[in-house]
């Protein structure tokens, strides 16, 4: 079945040098990663005649973002599967120098930049089993010369055998063989990488304007896979398949690459072989028959004969630079690539690989025959000496060296295998021991089992006998009981029912004490808990109390009494009483007080005024009277004759005494009103005294009651708290309560004393008031009797009224401030009504 060459283009991004040179991009692709649906590359170059540029259609196109992994997965892996299945495959990279051929095929050996070759090696050994053998060869074609890079590296022969190209050149041939090419057995990927590394180091590299590390040669890595398989005829055969991985040298414009002399010759030769490759591609793509394919025109095309148009499955990767500089070469590359797309290969099937093997064997055998023939010819010497040709001798030597190397390798392998064998032997010994143990154990177990089985059999027999006995017994019972069984069952049921009832009754009876017991238990528990709590509390309180007692500040009781404000209240009453007394004393009763002063001053002033007015009135009246009398006497003398002067004087005197009486009457009226007011004030004072006394007594009794209550409470608490410590506490408490009641009693005594003082003062005050009331003539206090004022000087202790915490001044006292003089309002009364004479 024919299979076209799979052609892909990989367009890299511009290199740093191209960026620096500011080379414009002329190549575009539909997708920067991968395009398989629209796999075209468009080259847009204004220097071309048609300004529209050119579009090349391939199988797959990769852009600048396509990484090594993607290329490997899409292009190399499918071919690797075919290769593992026995097919010959080829992957080759073709393109302008510096376009990325080496990067694509080899890249770095490990990591993300690893190219196709190292990835293939890696995967082969990942999927490989024991039935395969992997060989690696590496040939370099430089200036039309072949070099075995592995042989160079290993230096197996001092004189290296020349590599020759063998094989048919016909179109249907499987390709060319390289004689004397060394194939290294690769046991694992690591060894493959090492060899790869060394081969790469030996390649001919050079620096061109376009690539500082330019491959100046074509390099072909060939991986040979030998796998043991069963043939359709049932025979075990070895299947052989090859994978060629080709990194071609770059096609280049000699002028642009800057090659001179040897460089130019080298470039020329490189270009020559590539030119031939192009021709082969063109010839194969034309599809005309019969046709001449110029494989033989270069070693490269001879080498690639099987891969291009042969029996190999092939993938061609055209590497492209996007820069404008080599646009013509890029076009050429793409041109060949699009042509190669049409080349049909006939990949070898798995069945064919057996044929390959046979043919390989035949070819090897014919080589052997020709070698022997050469030897035969050489031995036909006249001197009967055995001669062989120089080439055969060299081949022998090379072969011997190879065999020695192989021997060494085999020795190493054998020693390794021996070591493994020894290890296996010891393992087998261990297993044998284990096996013996298991056998012993199992024979013992078997014996045990037999004994158990015998026991079981005996038990079964016994059981059977018992079963027989039971059935015969059962039969006999049924015969004996007969029809009476039913009535017995009924009776039994009845009995069971009765028993149930009894049980219920019993249970009920039983339940009562159980409930009581439960409650008792709960009660007991609660009691215990409470007792514990109480004792803990009492202990705690006692300790607190003892502590307080120890400190002797009796703070708890003191605090309680303090809280009740008993002493404060007493103190407050006392201080307020004192301040009121002081107030009365200072503001009303003392000589220097304004009330007294006013009263005194007014009293004196009025008296003086009245006396003066009276005196003046009398004087005026007398002088007027005398004047009138003199005048009237004169007139009477003059009119003596007319009226009797004595009668006139008599009537005047009567008039005067009349007026005097009226005046006295008025004065006594004023005095009466003063007396009435004084009486009122006295009764107010008395009632105030009663109220105050009552209030003080009430406060005192309340205080006593509260104190008693507090003391009782405290005592009760103390008694409750400290039953166990009653004596000591009681003593201390009694002492303290006595002290408190002593204080209270003292306070009460003080208060009573104060009250009696107040009463006394009041009495004195009344006396002084009564003194005032006696008569207007007695108002004037004689200077010789200071004692009459002395009661006022006494520290008067008036009781106060405490209403809502405010000190109230008795009404009488207030009134006294305004009604200072009873005379003031009646001043008009003092005007003389004596007619002017």
Ligand X SMILES: Nc1ncnc2c1ncn2[C@@H]1O[C@H](COP(=O)(O)OP(=O)(O)OP(=O)(O)O)[C@@H](O)[C@H]1O
Binding annotation for ATP: 95-102
Helix crossing, 645-721 with 726-773: angle to 10°? 180
Q: What is the DSSP letter of 323?
A: B
For the bound state, the minimum distance from the C-beta of residue 116 to ligand X, rounded and expressed in Å, comes to 12
As a whole number of angstroms, the distance between CA 399 and CA 179 comes to 13
Specify the DSSP element, H or E, that contains 91. Answer: strand 89-95
In this complex, which beta carbon is closest to ligand X, that of residue 108 or of residue 406?
A: 108
CA distances from 784 to 212, 529, 767 (A): 150, 89, 19
For the bound state, the minimum distance from the C-beta of residue 21 to ligand X, rounded and expressed in Å, comes to 14
Checking 285-292 for CB contacts under 8 A at 24+ apart, the result is 285/339, 285/340, 285/341, 285/342, 285/343, 287/342
271 near ligand X (CB under 6 A): no
> Site mask, ligand X, residues 370-399, x = CB under 6 A?
------------------------------
15 near ligand X (CB under 6 A): yes
CA distances from 775 to 279, 672, 677, 791, 796 (A): 171, 10, 15, 19, 25
For the bound state, the minimum distance from the C-beta of residue 234 to ligand X, rounded and expressed in Å, comes to 48
For the bound state, the minimum distance from the C-beta of residue 337 to ligand X, rounded and expressed in Å, comes to 14
In this complex, which beta carbon is closest to ligand X, that of residue 102 or of residue 222?
A: 102
Ordered DSSP codes for 558-590: HHHHHHHTHHHHHHHHHHHHHHHHHHHIIIIIS
Which of 6, 45, 60, 211: binder of ligand X (CB under 6 A)?
211
For the bound state, the minimum distance from the C-beta of residue 363 to ligand X, rounded and expressed in Å, comes to 34
94 near ligand X (CB under 6 A): no
In this complex, which beta carbon is closest to ligand X, that of residue 29 or of residue 184?
A: 29
In this complex, which beta carbon is closest to ligand X, that of residue 102 or of residue 593?
A: 102
Q: Which stretch binds ligand X (CB under 6 A): 20-28, 92-100, 228-236, 360-368?
A: 92-100
In this complex, which beta carbon is closest to ligand X, that of residue 330 or of residue 632?
A: 330
As a whole number of angstroms, the distance between CA 774 and CA 769 comes to 9
C-alpha 588: how far from chain center: 84
- Three-state secondary-structure class, residue 695: helix
| 89-95/313-320 β-pairing | parallel
Q: Which stretch binds ligand X (CB under 6 A): 98-106, 150-158, 386-394, 773-781?
A: 98-106
Asked if 34 and 70 count as a contact pair (C-beta separation under 8 A), the reply is yes
Q: Which of 202, 256, 205 is nearest to 102 (CA)?
A: 205
Question: What residues does 239 pair with on adjacent strands?
Answer: 227
CB-side neighbour CA atoms (13 Å) of 233:
5
CA distances from 783 to 12, 610, 773 (A): 143, 20, 19
Which of 35, 60, 99, 353: binder of ligand X (CB under 6 A)?
99
For the bound state, the minimum distance from the C-beta of residue 208 to ligand X, rounded and expressed in Å, comes to 6
Ranges assigned E (strand) in 122-247: 132-142, 145-148, 164-166, 177-179, 184-186, 205-206, 214-215, 218-230, 236-247
Q: Which stretch binds ligand X (CB under 6 A): 96-104, 164-172, 407-415, 582-590?
A: 96-104
Specify the DSSP element, H or E, that contains 382. Answer: none
Which of 8, 45, 88, 102: binder of ligand X (CB under 6 A)?
102
CA distances from 811 to 238, 585, 696 (A): 145, 16, 19
Helices (H) and strands (E) counted in the chain, each on its own, are 21, 21
As a whole number of angstroms, the distance between CA 96 and CA 323 comes to 12
For the bound state, the minimum distance from the C-beta of residue 252 to ligand X, rounded and expressed in Å, comes to 7
For the bound state, the minimum distance from the C-beta of residue 102 to ligand X, rounded and expressed in Å, comes to 3
- Please state, as a whole number, how many other Cβ atoms lie within 10 Å of the Cβ of residue 425: 10
Asked if 621 and 656 count as a contact pair (C-beta separation under 8 A), the reply is yes
217 near ligand X (CB under 6 A): no
As a whole number of angstroms, the distance between CA 19 and CA 64 comes to 14
95 near ligand X (CB under 6 A): yes
Count of chain residues binding ligand X (CB under 6 A): 17
Asked if 796 and 764 count as a contact pair (C-beta separation under 8 A), the reply is yes
As a whole number of angstroms, the distance between CA 148 and CA 756 comes to 147
Which of 86, 175, 192, 250: binder of ligand X (CB under 6 A)?
250
In this complex, which beta carbon is closest to ligand X, that of residue 211 or of residue 330?
A: 211
Q: Which of 676, 720, 694 is nearest to 819 (CA)?
A: 676
> Site mask, ligand X, residues 147-166, x = CB under 6 A?
--------------------
214 near ligand X (CB under 6 A): yes
As a whole number of angstroms, the distance between CA 593 and CA 584 comes to 9
In this complex, which beta carbon is closest to ligand X, that of residue 215 or of residue 737?
A: 215
Which of 39, 63, 86, 100: binder of ligand X (CB under 6 A)?
100
Q: Which stretch binds ligand X (CB under 6 A): 100-108, 307-315, 374-382, 483-491?
A: 100-108
Q: Which stretch binds ligand X (CB under 6 A): 94-102, 366-374, 500-508, 744-752?
A: 94-102
Which of 86, 98, 175, 810: binder of ligand X (CB under 6 A)?
98
Q: Which stretch binds ligand X (CB under 6 A): 76-84, 146-154, 208-216, 638-646?
A: 208-216
In this complex, which beta carbon is closest to ligand X, that of residue 317 or of residue 625?
A: 317
Contacts of 784 (CB under 8 A, 6+ apart): none
In this complex, which beta carbon is closest to ligand X, that of residue 219 or of residue 722?
A: 219
330 near ligand X (CB under 6 A): no
Q: Which of 187, 139, 184, 183 is nearest to 163 (CA)?
A: 139
12 near ligand X (CB under 6 A): yes
215 near ligand X (CB under 6 A): yes
In this complex, which beta carbon is closest to ligand X, that of residue 72 or of residue 103?
A: 103
Q: Which stretch binds ligand X (CB under 6 A): 213-221, 343-351, 634-642, 788-796?
A: 213-221
Which of 27, 60, 101, 689: binder of ligand X (CB under 6 A)?
101
In degrees rounded to 5, what are phi and psi of residue 348? -75, 135
C-alpha 359: how far from chain center: 74
Asked if 340 and 308 count as a contact pair (C-beta separation under 8 A), the reply is yes
Which of 56, 103, 193, 599: binder of ligand X (CB under 6 A)?
103
Which of 178, 249, 259, 337: binder of ligand X (CB under 6 A)?
249
For the bound state, the minimum distance from the C-beta of residue 267 to ligand X, rounded and expressed in Å, comes to 10
257 near ligand X (CB under 6 A): no
Binding residues: 95-102
Which 730-749 residues touch ligand X, going by CB under 6 A? none
Q: Which stretch binds ligand X (CB under 6 A): 49-57, 97-105, 170-178, 694-702?
A: 97-105
Asked if 688 and 815 count as a contact pair (C-beta separation under 8 A), the reply is no
For the bound state, the minimum distance from the C-beta of residue 41 to ligand X, rounded and expressed in Å, comes to 14
For the bound state, the minimum distance from the C-beta of residue 410 to ligand X, rounded and expressed in Å, comes to 39
> Site mask, ligand X, residues 290-319, x = CB under 6 A?
-----------------------------x
Q: Which stretch binds ligand X (CB under 6 A): 99-107, 305-313, 675-683, 704-712?
A: 99-107
Q: Which stretch binds ligand X (CB under 6 A): 37-45, 207-215, 385-393, 442-450?
A: 207-215
348 near ligand X (CB under 6 A): no
Asked if 557 and 740 count as a contact pair (C-beta separation under 8 A), the reply is yes
Question: What residues does 8 pair with on adjacent strands?
Answer: 60, 317
Residue 231 backbone class (left: φ over 0; alpha: ψ -120 to 50; beta: rest): beta
In this complex, which beta carbon is closest to ligand X, that of residue 192 or of residue 250?
A: 250
Residues in contact with ligand X by CB under 6 A are 12, 15, 95, 97-103, 211, 213-215, 249-250, 319
């Amino acid at each position: 079945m024919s299979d076209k060459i799979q052609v892909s283009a990989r367009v890299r991004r511009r290199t740093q040098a191209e960026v620096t040179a500011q080379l414009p991009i002329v190549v575009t692709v539909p997708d920067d990663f991968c395009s398989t649906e629209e796999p075209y590359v468009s080259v847009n170059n204004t220097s071309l005649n048609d300004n529209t540029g050119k579009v090349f259609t391939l199988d797959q196109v990769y852009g600048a973002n396509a990484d090594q992994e993607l290329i490997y997965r899409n292009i190399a892996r499918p071919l690797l599967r075919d290769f593992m299945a026995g097919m010959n495959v080829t992957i080759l990279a073709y393109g302008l120098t510096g376009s990325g051929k080496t990067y694509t095929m080899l890249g770095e050996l490990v990591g993300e930049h690893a190219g196709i070759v190292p990835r293939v090696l890696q995967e082969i050994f990942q999927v490989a089993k024991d039935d395969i053998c992997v060989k690696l060869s590496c040939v370099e074609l430089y200036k039309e010369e072949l070099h075995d890079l592995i042989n160079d590296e290993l230096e197996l022969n001092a004189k290296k055998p020349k590599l020759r190209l063998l094989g048919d050149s016909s179109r249907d041939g499987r390709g060319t063989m390289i004689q004397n090419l060394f194939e290294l057995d690769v046991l694992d990927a690591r060894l493959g990488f090492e060899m790869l590394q060394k081969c790469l180091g030996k390649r001919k590299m050079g620096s061109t304007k376009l690539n500082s590390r330019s491959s100046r040669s074509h390099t072909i890595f060939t991986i040979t896979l030998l796998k043991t398989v069963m043939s359709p005829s049932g025979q075990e055969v070895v299947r052989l398949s090859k994978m060629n991985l080709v990194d071609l040298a770059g096609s280049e414009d000699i002028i642009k690459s800057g090659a001179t002399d040897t460089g130019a010759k080298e470039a020329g030769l490189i270009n020559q072989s590539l030119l031939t490759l192009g021709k082969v591609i063109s010839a194969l793509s034309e599809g005309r028959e019969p046709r001449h394919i110029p494989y033989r025109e270069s070693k490269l095309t001879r080498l690639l004969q099987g891969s291009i148009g042969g029996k190999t499955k092939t993938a061609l990767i055209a590497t492209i630079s996007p820069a404008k500089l080599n646009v013509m070469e890029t076009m050429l590359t793409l041109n060949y690539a699009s042509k190669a797309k049409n080349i049909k290969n006939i990949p070898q099937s798995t069945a064919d690989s057996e044929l390959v093997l046979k043919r390989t064997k035949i070819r090897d055998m014919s080589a052997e025959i020709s070698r022997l023939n050469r030897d035969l010819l050489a031995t036909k010497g006249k001197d009967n000496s055995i001669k062989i040709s120089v080439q055969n001798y060299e081949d022998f030597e090379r072969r011997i060296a190879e065999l020695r190397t192989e021997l060494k390798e085999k020795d190493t392998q054998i020693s390794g295998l021996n070591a493994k064998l020894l290890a296996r032997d010891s393992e087998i010994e261990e297993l044998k021991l284990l096996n013996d143990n298991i056998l012993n154990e199992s024979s013992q177990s078997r014996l045990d089992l037999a004994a158990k089985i015998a026991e079981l059999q005996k038990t079964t027999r016994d059981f059977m006998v018992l079963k027989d006995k039971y059935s015969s017994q059962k039969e006999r019972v049924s015969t004996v009981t007969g029809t009476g069984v039913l009535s017995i069952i009924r009776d039994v049921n009845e009995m069971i029912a009765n028993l149930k009832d009894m049980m219920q009754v019993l249970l009920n009876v039983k339940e009562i004490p159980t409930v009581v017991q439960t409650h008792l238990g709960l009660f007991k528990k609660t009691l215990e808990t409470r007792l514990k709590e109480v004792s803990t509390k009492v202990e705690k309180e006692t300790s607190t109390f003892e502590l307080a007692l120890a400190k002797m500040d009796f703070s708890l009781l003191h605090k309680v009494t303090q809280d009740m404000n008993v002493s404060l209240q007493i103190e407050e009453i006392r201080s307020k009483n004192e301040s009121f007394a002081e107030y009365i004393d200072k503001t009303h009763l003392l000589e220097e007080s304004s009330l007294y002063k006013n009263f005194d001053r007014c009293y004196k002033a009025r008296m003086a005024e009245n006396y003066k007015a009276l005196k003046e009135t009398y004087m005026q009246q007398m002088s007027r009277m005398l004047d009138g009398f003199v005048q009237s006497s004169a007139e009477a003398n003059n009119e003596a004759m007319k009226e009797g002067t004595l009668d006139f004087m008599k009537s005047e005197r009567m008039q005067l005494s009349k007026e005097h009486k009226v005046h006295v009457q008025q004065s006594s009226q004023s005095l009466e009103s003063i007396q009435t007011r004084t009486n009122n004030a006295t009764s107010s004072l008395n009632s105030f005294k009663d109220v105050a006394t009552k209030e003080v007594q009430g406060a005192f009794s309340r205080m006593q009651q509260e104190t008693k209550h507090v003391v009782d409470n405290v005592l009760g608490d103390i008694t409750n708290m400290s039953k166990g410590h009653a004596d000591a506490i009681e003593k201390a408490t009694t002492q303290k309560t006595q002290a408190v009641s002593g204080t209270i009693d003292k306070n009460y005594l003080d208060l009573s004393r104060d009250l009696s003082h107040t009463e006394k003062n009041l009495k004195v005050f009344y006396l002084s008031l009564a003194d005032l009331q006696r008569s207007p003539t007695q108002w004037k206090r004689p200077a010789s009797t200071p004692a009459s004022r002395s009661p006022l000087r006494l520290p008067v202790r008036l009781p106060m009224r405490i209403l809502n915490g405010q000190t109230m001044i008795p009404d009488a006292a207030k009134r006294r401030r305004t009604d200072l003089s009873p005379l003031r309002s009646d001043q008009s009364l003092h005007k003389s009504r004596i007619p002017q004479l």
